[in-house]
Amino acid sequence: MKFAMVDQTHYHLVDYEKSDVYRLGLVFLFMACLGPAKSVLWREKFRVAKVKEDINGLPYSEIFKSLLRWMLQTKEARRPLFTDISQWLNT
pLDDT tens for each residue of 40-79: 554 455 666 778 888 998 999 999 999 999 999 988 999 9
3-state secondary structure of 27: helix
Strand partners, 13: 4
pLDDT value of position 43: 47
Model confidence band, residue 80 (pLDDT cutoffs 50, 70, 90): very high
Closest by CA position to 40, among listed 31, 81, 59: 31
Residue 8, exposed/middle/buried by CB under 10 A (0-12, 13-18, 19+)? exposed
Q: Record the pTM.
A: 0.76
Q: What percent of the chain has pLDDT over 70?
A: 71
- Report how far residue 62's alpha carbon sits from residue 66's, in angstroms, rounded to the nearest whole number: 6
